[in-house]
């Protein structure tokens, strides 16, 4: 901060406070981290012999790798130390998914019609599935047997679904020490033939918290899950 000039300190503080007001979010910061590493390495003595084309290739390559790595493992506490350690050799293969840290989910995009979808698929093989009216969830089983449930935004919602945790523990294969399931939690009416219920009805369930867990006995709206084939 002491080295800042003119308005630099203003934007430095706003960046740290996540209040830059110019639309700069993580998608702006992540490539910048990669570029900073490459530029710092380039100016070190052992990298000065890099050609301009090689420099630009590294600049874009590492920046893209940081973005992709964060999608796989969205934790700056893990990504940044690994980036600094690997320097310009950082790549997406440096890190892998870790149960307990939710990854960025693949989200659907609205199309104007079936033909637009066919144009986007470019004659590639694809599968179709029903879009259930539920709540997106990532279900993680940790090494100690703990089951955690995360929302599409990465917020932990385990306390809201104790019945779902019981189902996962009951039906998961004992040989699978850890796993991550991308799923849709859907409300079902088990009194009337397991009829699927709407998202609005699922939303009537208590939200719960770490300090006030929902008990299975208090749940009026039960649920099932649909596993996403991503």
- Domain boundaries for CATH 3.30.470.30 within the chain: 114-227
Q: Point out the catalytic residue in the list 7, 48, 131, 220.
A: 131
What's the whole-number average pLDDT of the chain?
Answer: 81
CATH architecture group of domain 114-227 = 2-Layer Sandwich (3.30)
* Cα separation, 163 vs 208, whole angstroms: 13
pLDDT at 81: 92
Encode pLDDT of 104-115 as tens digits.
887 777 888 888
pLDDT at 230: 47
Across the range 127-154, mean pLDDT stands at 88
Contact in structure between 185 and 165 (CB atoms under 8 Å): no
* Cα separation, 137 vs 149, whole angstroms: 6
Helix axes 52-72, 26-42, angle to 10 degrees: 140
Residue 26, SS3?
helix
Q: How far, in Å, are 73, 91, 161, 193, 201 from residue 65 at the CA level?
A: 12, 5, 35, 48, 41
Residue 104 annotated as catalytic: no
Encode pLDDT of 6-45 as tens digits.
888 888 888 777 676 766 667 788 898 999 988 888 777 5
Question: What is the model's pTM?
Answer: 0.67
Helix axes 76-86, 52-72, angle to 10 degrees: 150
Question: Which range in 13-17, 21-25, 57-61, 124-128 is most confidently predicted, on average pLDDT?
Answer: 57-61
pLDDT at 217: 52
* Cα separation, 128 vs 108, whole angstroms: 12
């Amino acid at each position: 901060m002491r080295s800042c000039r003119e308005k630099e300190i203003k934007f430095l503080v706003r960046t740290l406070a996540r209040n830059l007001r110019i639309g700069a979010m993580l998608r702006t910061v992540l490539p910048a981290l990669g570029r900073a590493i490459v530029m710092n390495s380039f100016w070190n003595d052992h990298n000065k012999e890099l050609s301009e084309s090689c420099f630009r290739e590294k600049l874009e390559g590492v920046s893209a790798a940081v973005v992709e790595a964060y999608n796989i493992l969205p934790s700056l506490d893990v990504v940044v130390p690994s980036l600094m350690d690997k320097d310009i050799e950082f790549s997406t293969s440096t890190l892998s998914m870790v149960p307990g840290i939710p990854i960025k989910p693949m989200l659907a995009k609205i199309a104007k019609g079936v033909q637009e979808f066919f144009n986007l698929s470019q004659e590639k093989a694809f599968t179709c599935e029903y879009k259930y009216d539920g709540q997106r969830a990532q279900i993680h089983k940790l090494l100690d047997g703990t089951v955690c449930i995360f929302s599409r935004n990465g917020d932990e919602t385990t306390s809201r679904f104790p019945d779902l945790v019981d189902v996962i523990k009951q039906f998961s294969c004992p040989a699978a020490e850890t796993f991550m399931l991308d799923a849709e939690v859907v409300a079902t009416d088990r009194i009337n033939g397991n009829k699927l219920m709407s998202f609005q009805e699922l939303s009537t369930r208590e939200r719960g918290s770490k300090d006030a867990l929902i008990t299975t006995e208090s749940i009026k709206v039960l649920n099932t899950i649909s596993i996403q084939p991503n």
